[in-house]
Amino acid sequence: MISRNTAAGVYFVGAGPGDPELLTLKGQRLLQEADVILYADSLVPTGILQFAPPSTLCIPTAALTLEEIIPLMVEAVQAGKKVVRLQSGDPSLYSAIHEQICRLAEAGIAVEVVPGISAYQLAAARLKVELTLPELVQTIILTRASGRTRVPPTEELASLAAHKASLCLYLSANCIQRAQRDLLQHYPPETLVAVGYRLGWPDEQLWLVPLRDIAAFSQQQRLTRTTLYLISPALAVQQQGSDAWRSCLYSPEHHHLFRPH
Ligand SMILES: C[S@@+](CC[C@H](N)C(=O)[O-])C[C@H]1O[C@@H](n2cnc3c(N)ncnc32)[C@H](O)[C@@H]1O
């Protein structure tokens, strides 16, 4: 059995996509208590550091290597400091926490991970869309196009597209032309794609673009980073305002434990 967290040395905290108000209460408390915060400044806005006391040492890590980051954490823990490692979005997604946790374990340091709101969740919220509409789409795929980090052959974008699920594409602005081609193997060209740029930041942008145009559009808007693509059959339904895909949950014909006959 995996035990619940006990006395961590380092707290990995999901910062959410940008807006400091999207931090969890637990994340906020840990920032308030932190002596040292190491934060991924490429994606975590400094506004989130406002929760830390002025005495907290805040270290940006975008320019550092793992070999430089780990000793900073280990030395701080060994000096009895409370250490928070602030990651963008949710730490379970594309955050390189695995290698950090392994190195900390080698140093005998336990960690606790506090979840955060991922970029796709803020995109869905902004769009006011349910990505799992009954009978239409019941699966969400979180993935990326193959780039410098290779995606395993069993997860090629074209094969994932065959499901025609709600598909959230991270880290792919730089190879969106290839991604568009792969997605078009299965999704119709007119499928709406939400293109979110720096969601939750003051310069946030969110557009709806037909799939056949997302590469040209991305190029025209000069989108190279911090961009999320959300492809879903639910987007068109949401645009039409149709409730044809209503669930059983609140249907008068449907009875269940909390609403018996
Ligand atoms: C290194 S990954 C980190 C993902 C993060 N852990 C999460 O859960 O959102 C960075 C990628 O996430 C997406 N992303 C992260 N923050 C974003 C934001 N505020 N707006 C749009 N996309 C974002 C982009 O695809 C970006 O290239």
Q: What is the mean pLDDT of the chain?
A: 94
Give me ligand 1 centre to Cα 134, in Å. Answer: 27
Structure confidence by residue, pLDDT tens digits, 43-66: 998 999 999 999 999 999 999 999
Determine the CATH number of domain 10-114. 3.40.1010.10
Which pLDDT does position 255 carry in this prediction?
Answer: 76
Nearest CA to ligand 1 atom 7: 89
Structure confidence by residue, pLDDT tens digits, 8-35: 899 999 999 999 999 999 999 999 999 9
Indicate if the pLDDT at residue 3 is higher than 80: no
Structure confidence by residue, pLDDT tens digits, 148-197: 889 999 999 999 999 999 999 999 999 999 999 999 999 999 999 999 99
> What HEC string does the chain produce?
CCCCCCCCCEEEEECECCCHHHCCHHHHHHHHHCCEEEECCCCCCHHHHHHCCCCCEEEECCCCCHHHHHHHHHHHHHCCCCEEEEECECCCCCCCHHHHHHHHHHCCCCEEEECCCCHHHHHHHHHCCCCCCCCCCCCEEEEECCCCCCCCHHHCHHHHHCCCCEEEEECCHHHHHHHHHHHCCCCCCCCEEEEEECCCCCCCEEEEEEHHHHHHHHHHCCCCCCEEEEECHHHHHHHHCCCCCCCCCCCCCCCECCECC
Domains 10-114 and 119-240 fall in the same CATH topology = no
Structure confidence by residue, pLDDT tens digits, 82-109: 999 999 999 999 999 999 999 999 999 9
Residue 20 CB–ligand 1 contact under 6 Å? no
Give me ligand 1 centre to Cα 118, in Å. Answer: 7
Give me ligand 1 centre to Cα 198, in Å. Answer: 8
Interval 207-212 mean pLDDT: 98
Residue 119 CB–ligand 1 contact under 6 Å? yes
Domain boundaries, the chain: 10-114, 119-240
Which pLDDT does position 257 carry in this prediction?
Answer: 74
Give me ligand 1 centre to Cα 10, in Å. Answer: 23
Which pLDDT does position 65 carry in this prediction?
Answer: 97
Indicate if the pLDDT at residue 259 is higher than 90: no
State the Cα–Cα distance between residues 99 and 97, nearest whole angstrom.
6
Structure confidence by residue, pLDDT tens digits, 220-255: 999 999 999 999 999 998 888 877 766 777 777 777
149, amino acid identity? T
State the Cα–Cα distance between residues 91 and 97, nearest whole angstrom.
7
Residue 88 CB–ligand 1 contact under 6 Å? yes
What class is the 119-240 domain? alpha beta
Indicate if the pLDDT at residue 5 is higher than 70: no
